[in-house]
Amino acid sequence: MSFQKSTFHHPRLKVNDLGLTYRDYEGALSTLCAGCGHDSITSAIIQACYELSIEPHKVAKMSGIGCSSKAPNYFMSKAHGFNSVHGRMPSVTTGANMANQALLYLAMSGDGDSASIGFGQFAHVVRRQLNMVYMVANNGVYGLTKGQLAATADKGVKNKAGEISLFNDIDLCSMALQLGASFVARSFSGDKKQLVPLLKAAMSHRGFAFIDIISPCVTFNNHPASTRSYDYVHDHITTAAVTDFIPIKTEITTDCNVGDCEDICLHDGSIMRIKKLDSEYDTRNAHKAIMDIEEHKKKGEILTGLLYFKPTASHFHEINNTCDTPLNQLTQDALCPGARILSGINDSFR
Partner 1 sequence: MLTLKKTDTRHYQHFLKVVDCQHACPAHTPVPEYIRLIAEKRYTDAYMLNWQSNVFPGILGRVCDRPCEPACRRTRVEEKPVAICRLKRVAADNKGDISAYLPIIPTEKNGKRIALIGAGPASLTVARDLLPLGYEVVLFERDAKAGGMMRSQIPAFRLPETVLDEELALIIDMGVECHFGEEITSLDKLLHANFDAIFIGTGAPNGRWLKIPNHEKVAKHVDTGISWLANVSFEHIDSAPKRVVILGGGNTAMDCCRTAKRLGAVDVKVLVRSSFAAMKASPWEKEDAAAEGIEIMPNYTPTEYVFKDDKFIGVNFDQVKSVYDKAGNRKLTTTGKTLLVECDLVLVAVGQDTVFPWIEGDLGIKFNEWQQPIVDPMSLQSSLNKVFFGGDAAFGPKNIITAVANGHQAAISIDLFCADKDPLTERPDSSFNLVSQKMGIHEWSYQSNIDHQARNLVPHIDWQQAVKELTAEVELGFDERLALEEAHRCLNCDVHTVFTESTCIECSACEDVCPMDCINFIEGDENSSRNDLVQQFHVKDVNPEQDLLISDKLKTGHIMVKDEDVCLHCGLCAERCPTGAWDMKKLVIDNIGATIK
CB atoms within 10 A of CB 141: 28
Which of 44, 151 has the CB closer to partner 1? 44
- Listed in sequence order, the residues at least 6 apart from 123 whose beta carbon sits closer than 8 Å to its beta carbon are 175, 179
Which backbone phi and psi does 63 adopt, to 5 degrees? Answer: -160, 170
Pick one of 20, 27, 36, 59: the residue that binds partner 1 (CB under 8 A): 36
Which segment (115-123, 152-160, 216-224, 302-310) binds partner 1 by CB under 8 A?
Answer: 216-224
- The site partner of 112 among ligand TPP, ligand SF4, partner 1, none (C-beta below 5 to 8 Å per kind) is ligand TPP
Share in percent of the chain as helix, strand, coil (round to 5) = 35, 20, 45
> Which residues inside 133-172 make contact with Mg ion, applying CB under 5 A?
139
Q: Name the residues that contact ligand TPP, by CB under 6 A.
A: 65-68, 86, 110-113, 117, 137, 139, 141-145, 150
> Which residues inside 227-266 make contact with partner 1, applying CB under 8 A?
230-231, 234
Dist CA 122 CA 134 (whole Å): 9
CA-closest candidate to residue 112, choices 93, 135, 85, 138: 138
> Residue 45 interacts with ligand SF4 (CB under 6 A)?
no
Dist CA 229 CA 37 (whole Å): 10
> Residue 142 interacts with ligand SF4 (CB under 6 A)?
no
- The site partner of 244 among ligand SF4, Mg ion, ligand TPP, none (C-beta below 5 to 8 Å per kind) is none
Q: For the chain, how far is it from start to end, CA to CA, in angstroms?
A: 68
- The site partner of 145 among ligand SF4, Mg ion, ligand TPP, none (C-beta below 5 to 8 Å per kind) is ligand TPP
> Which residues inside 317-336 make contact with partner 1, applying CB under 8 A?
none
Pick one of 27, 64, 143, 305: the residue that binds ligand SF4 (CB under 6 A): 143
> Residue 224 interacts with partner 1 (CB under 8 A)?
no
> Which residues inside 147-176 make contact with ligand SF4, applying CB under 6 A?
none
SS3 11: coil
**Residue 304: alpha-carbon gap to chain centroid:** 14
* Inter-residue contact 141 to 220 (CB < 8 Å): yes
> Which residues inside 291-310 make contact with ligand SF4, applying CB under 6 A?
none
Pairing verdict, β 59-63 and 80-83: parallel
Paired residues of 211 in beta bridges: 135, 185
Number of residues that bind ligand SF4 (CB under 6 A): 13
Q: Where do contacts with ligand SF4 occur on this chain (CB under 6 A)?
A: 32-33, 35-36, 38, 67, 139, 143-144, 217-220
